[in-house]
Structure 1
Amino acid sequence: MPICRFIAILLACGYFSGSAFADSPAQTNDTNREIPLAAVAATRLMEQGDSKQAKAVLLEAREHFADNDDIAFLLGMLAMDEQEFESASAYFREILIRDPQAVRVRLELGRALFESGDYRDAGRQFRFARSGNLPTEVNANIDRYLAAIHHLQTFNWDVSVALAPDTNINAAPSIEEISIFGLPFQLSEDAKRQTGIGILLNTSAEWTPHIAENTRLRLGGSLYRTDYRGGGFDDTFVNVHVGPKFQFGDLELSTLLTGFHRWYGNEPYNHGTGLRQEVTYYPSSRTRLHTSLEHQWVRHDDVSSLDGTRTSWLGSWQYALTPSSGVMGVLGLSKESTELDMLSNTVYRGGVGYYRELFGGLTALIQPEYLRARYDDVTPAFGVERRDNLWRTRLRLTNRRWVFKGFTPELTLIRSSRRSNIDLYSYDRNQVQLGVSKLY
C-alpha cells in the first residue's frame, strides 16, 4: 500500500501523542501537545532524503489538518530546500498568524525573506526574533544575518493607498463667530469646518548604492497626496534628498541636500531647499536610535510674509520587546522664522508608540503624540501671542491574514484635537483611512 494512502487511513483516526516531535520548531508553548502522524512520518522521510514523498504526505495531510502548525512548518522547510522562498514565506507567515510568539518560525521566515532578496522585512523578522530567549550561538547567527542585510540592502520602498473620510478636511474651528479687533465677525462658509471623503496616496523610495568602502550614495524621495471632490482642499507634498552616507560599524552618518514642493488646492503653495544631517546608531540587534537636524530656506508662492527659514531636530528610537511586540518614541523641536514675528514660531513634539502582532493575523499600532506651538509676537487682530496645544492619537490595524501581491488591508483611525488661546485656530478632527499598504 502506498505510504500516502496508508497515512490517509491513519489520519482518519485522529491525532496521537508522542515525543517524536517534541522539539518541533513550530511548537512553542506546549511540548506535550498532540502531533499529527503525518508530520512524524514526513520528518522520518526527510531524514532519509525522500523529500518528494514527504511533501506528498504533508500535502495530503493538510486536507485533514489545514491549520496544523507542524505540517505547515515542514512544508515551509521543504520549500526552502527547493528554493521556493515565496512559498516558504507563505507557510511561515501562516503559522505566525496563529502563533506570533513562534520564535523558530520567525527565524525561518527571516531566512526565507533574506534568500528572496526582501532584506527590509527579513531584518524586521530577525530583530523581533532576537528578543526571544535564544541560545548564544543562535543570536550570533542572527547578528550575522543582520550585518549581511546592512551591507546588501540598496533599495527601499513603501506605498499605501486608502479611502479617507475626514470630519474636518480644512482643520477649521467649530465656532460660527470670531472677535477681531474687539468686533464680532461671522465666519464665511469657506472658513467653517468641511467634511469629505478623499483618496490618499503615500509613497516613498530610496536607492543607496555603494560608491566606496563604507560609503554609499543616498538618493530618494516621497510623495504624499490627498484628493477630495472639488479639488479645493487637495494637498500634494513632494520631497527629495541626495547625499553620502558613511558607515562605521553600528554607526551611520548622512549629509543630505533636500528639497520640497507643496501644492494646496492644486495650486503652488510653497517650496524650499535645505541641508540635513542624520545619525543612526544600533546599540544592539533589538534597538535602533536615529536623530536628524535640518535647516531649510522656505519660499511661499502667494504670501511672501511667510518666507523665511525652518530649523528642526527630530530624535526617535525603536526597541523590540518580544518576538511579536515593540515600542518606539519620538522627540522633536522646530523653529520657523518668517518676515513677520507674529508668524514665527517654535514647536515642541513628543510621542510614544506600541506595536503588537495579535492572534488571527491582526497587527495593532497605537501612537499618542503631543505638539506645543508658541508664536514669537502678538497677533494684532487678537491682541495676544498665539499658543497652541495639539493632542493626536493614531490607531492602525493591519490584517496579515489577507495578503495579495505583497499588500495587506490596513485601517487607520486618527483623532486630533488642537486648543489655542485664539479660538480661530482650535479644532477637532477625526480621520479614517481604509486601504492597502505594503506588508512588512
Structure 2
Amino acid sequence: MSFKRFFFQMSAAWLAAVFSCAAYAEADALVRESLALVEQGKAQQAFDQLATAEASRAGDPDFDTVLGIAANDTGQFTRAVFALERVLTVQPGNSRARAELGRALFSLGDNQAARQVLQETKRDDIPPEAARKIDEFLQAIDRNEEAARSSIRGYLEGSIGSDSNINSGPGNANVAVPSLGGLVLTLSPTSVKLKDSFYSVGAGVSGRFVIDPRLSLIASASGNYRFNNDYNDFDTNQFDISAGASYKVGKDEYTAAAQIGTFSADNRGVRDQRGVVGEWTHRPDAASQWTSYLQLSTLRYPGQSLRDAERYVLGTSYARAFRAGLLAFGGVYAGTENERAANVPHLGHRLAGLRAGLQQTVNADVDVFGNAGYEERRYGGADPLFLVTRRDKQTSLNLGLTWVPFVNWRVTPQWSLLRTDSNIAISDFSKRVFSVTVRRDF
C-alpha cells in the first residue's frame, strides 16, 4: 500500500474532523481554492499557486496545511515537512497535518519518525475509519522495515470451486481431419470438455538475506495440489523454486533469479521448466511503478521430447494508485517459443499479449478487483493433421473480491473466464471457473 493511496482512502468525515478548527472555517479564497484543487486531483496546480505565496504566508496554519498536502501529492516531500512542522508548532492538535507529516517522513525514508507521528495521530480524537487506516499503514511500515532486513515469510492456502472444463477440451467430440480426406473422427470421452468440482491446497515460503541496504539475496519456493472430485486423472500439482539477488539504487531496483518449476498431472510429469529472469522496477513516486522483465526458459516434456522448446518473453507493466483507493495496472509482452527438434515448425510459435486490471477499496476490509488479458499465438508451420498453420487468440477475464476478516487472513471468491479461439478444432475451447480461496500469511 502506498501513502498516496492510503490518504486517498480517507473519508469526508476524516477531512471534516481534522479541519474543524475555527481558523480553517475562516480560511481565505487561496486556501479554499487550493484545497479544492487537491481534492480534484490537481495537486500540481495547487502547489504552484501556493508556493508563490509561501514567503509571505508561511506560519499561517491553514495555508501551511494545504501547502503540505499539495507538496506531498506532487512528491515535494522536504517542502511538505517544513510546511507541516510549521503547522504543528501553532496547532499541535491538527491531526491531518500530523498524518501528512508522517507520509512525508516515510517518503523520505525516515520510517522511525513516520511511525511515531502516525501513532500520535491515532491517539487523537479522529474518526474510527481513519484510525483503522492508520493501523493498516503502520503495518505497511513494519513490512517495509522488514523488507530492509533479513526475513522469512510463508503462507498456507486452500481453495474449493467448480471448473466447467477441467481438461481444456473442445466442446464437440466429432472432428474432421483434413489429412485423412476430411474423415470425421470421434474423440474419446476424456478428450472433450469435462466439468467437475475441485479443491486445492498450496503453500509457499520466501526469504531475503540483506547484505547491505542495497544488495539482498532472495529465494522462494511454492507448491500447489489440485484434486478433482470425479475425474482424478486430471488432478494436477505444481512446484516452483527460485533464487537470486536484488540490488536497489535510488528509485530503481534490479533483480535477477534462476527459476525451476515442474507441472504434473495424475502424478506423472508433464512439463519441466528451467530458466532465468531479469527484472527492473522503477518507482517514480509513491503512487506509481514501472516493471520490465526478460524471461529465458527451457521447457522439457517427459516422454514427449518432440515438444521440447526454448521460451523467451520480454514485457513491461505500469501500476498506479488513484484517488479513493483505486489501483489500476496494465502491461504488454511478447516472445517466442522455439522448438528444439528438427522439422516440427508447427510446435513452435510467436506470442504477444496484454493485460489490464483495476482494484477498488470498498472499506478497510474489502477490495474488489477485475482484470482481463489477451494473447495471440502464431505457430511456425502447417499442422500435419489439419493442414493449416495454427493461430490461437486467447481471452481471459477475472472478477472477484478480497476480504480480510482478521490480520494476515484473506478470503477471495473469484470468477474466471478463459476462451481460446483456434483454427485447429481440438485446440478451440472455453472454460469458466468459480473458486473461493482462504489464505493465511505468516
TM-score by length of structure 1 reads 0.67
Counterpart check, 1:218 vs 2:204: no
User: 2:374–2:394: 8 Å Cα contact kept in structure 1?
Assistant: yes
User: 2:148–2:213: 8 Å Cα contact kept in structure 1?
Assistant: no
Tell me: CA distance 1:210–1:362, structure 2 relative to 1, closer, same or farther (3 Å).
Answer: closer
Q: Which amino acid aligns with 2:376?
A: R
Match of 1:232, SS state, is helix
| Structure 1: gaps (5+ residues) | 1-23, 35-69, 71-87, 124-147
Match of 1:174, SS state, is coil
Q: What is the CA-CA distance between 1:113 and the residue it aligns to?
A: 5.1
Counterpart check, 1:109 vs 2:136: yes
User: 2:148–2:210: 8 Å Cα contact kept in structure 1?
Assistant: no
Counterpart check, 1:228 vs 2:247: no
User: 1:164–1:434: 8 Å Cα contact kept in structure 2?
Assistant: yes
Q: Partners of 1:32 and 1:317 in 2: how far apart?
A: 34
Q: Partners of 1:151 and 1:360 in 2: how far apart?
A: 26
Q: Partners of 2:429 and 2:326 in 1: how far apart?
A: 33
Match of 1:246, SS state, is strand
Match of 1:160 in 2: 157
Q: What is the CA-CA distance between 1:360 and the residue it aligns to?
A: 8.2
Match of 2:14, SS state, is coil
Counterpart check, 1:274 vs 2:271: no
Tell me: CA distance 1:279–1:185, structure 2 relative to 1, closer, same or farther (3 Å).
Answer: same
Q: Which amino acid aligns with 2:169?
A: A
Q: What is the CA-CA distance between 1:318 and the residue it aligns to?
A: 1.7
Counterpart check, 1:377 vs 2:381: yes
Tell me: CA distance 1:244–1:408, structure 2 relative to 1, closer, same or farther (3 Å).
Answer: closer
Q: What is the CA-CA distance between 1:314 and the residue it aligns to?
A: 2.9
Q: Which amino acid aligns with 2:398?
A: R
User: 1:281–1:288: 8 Å Cα contact kept in structure 2?
Assistant: yes
User: 1:231–1:266: 8 Å Cα contact kept in structure 2?
Assistant: no
| Structure 2: gaps (5+ residues) | 1-9, 21-94, 96-118
Aligned residues: 326
Q: Partners of 2:175 and 2:257 in 1: how far apart?
A: 44
Tell me: CA distance 1:189–1:110, structure 2 relative to 1, closer, same or farther (3 Å).
Answer: same
Match of 1:388 in 2: 392
Q: What is the CA-CA distance between 1:347 and the residue it aligns to?
A: 1.8
Match of 2:211, SS state, is strand
Q: What is the CA-CA distance between 1:361 and the residue it aligns to?
A: 4.1
Tell me: CA distance 1:349–1:156, structure 2 relative to 1, closer, same or farther (3 Å).
Answer: farther
- 318-327 or 172-181: which moved more? 318-327
Superposition map of 1:33-432 within 5 A:
102=130, 105-112=132-139, 114=141, 117=142, 119=143, 148=145, 150-152=147-149, 154-180=151-177, 181=179, 182-212=182-212, 214-229=214-229, 230-338=231-339, 339=341, 340-359=344-363, 361-400=365-404, 402-403=405-406, 406-432=408-434
User: 1:243–1:254: 8 Å Cα contact kept in structure 2?
Assistant: yes
Match of 2:25 in 1: none
User: 1:26–1:105: 8 Å Cα contact kept in structure 2?
Assistant: no
Q: Partners of 1:439 and 1:320 in 2: how far apart?
A: 24
Q: What is the CA-CA distance between 1:30 and the residue it aligns to?
A: 4.4
Match of 1:209, SS state, is strand
